[in-house]
Amino acid sequence: MISLDLARRLKLKLDSQKRIKVSGLGGVPTYITASTQIKITLGRRVVYILDVWVTNIGEGVDVLLGMDFMYSAGVRLCIREGTVALPEEESVLMYGYMVRKHRERNIPITPLQDVHLRPGEHVNVKIRGGQWVTQVLYGAKSWAVALMVMNISNEDL
């Protein structure tokens, strides 16, 4: 479905023979008064010619593509990264998302006592118990923001 404003800007030929009443966003009844044929190009080589409905979708929305189309076209939504993966593995940033650089952190882990080694010697240092659980904590927009490591045993380590 495309917006009436976009259809006018693209000067599409509208077919107004059918009028359909549908439940719009938020349950508000609305009428679809026209249809048209459009060509959608995904990536560099995948082209679709579709019959779509023309109506007032909402403020700032020009096109709504249903999941049935997205699935059959091989489009994948990567919500955590905020990208849309097209059939030829080309990625497009979703509306409202910003490119975020992944940050790496080096956190020094030190044993409770100093260990001095000579060349060729080795020692096992217990820095994590057998009953510790690691959990990834997510912030807004499902970005990983922290790791929480919790001791679930009765012993202090």
Tens of pLDDT, residue by residue over 103-126, are: 666 656 666 778 788 888 887 766
Q: Is 9 left (phi over 0), alpha (psi -120 to 50) or beta?
A: alpha
Task: Report whether pLDDT(130) > 70.
Answer: no
149 forms beta bridges with: 134
Q: What is the pLDDT of residues 66-81, one digit of tens each?
A: 888 888 888 888 877 7
Q: Is position 55 within any domain?
A: yes
What band does 127 get if pLDDT is binned at 50, 70 and 90? Answer: low
Are 33 and 77 in contact by the 8 Å Cβ rule? The answer is no
Q: What is the pLDDT of residues 81-109, one digit of tens each?
A: 788 888 777 788 887 777 666 566 665 66
Q: Is position 125 within any domain?
A: no
Count of domains observed in the chain? 1
Q: Is position 1 within any domain?
A: yes
Domain that holds residue 29: 1-63
Q: Is position 110 within any domain?
A: no
Q: Is position 100 within any domain?
A: no
Model confidence pTM above 0.75: no
Are 150 and 133 in contact by the 8 Å Cβ rule? The answer is yes
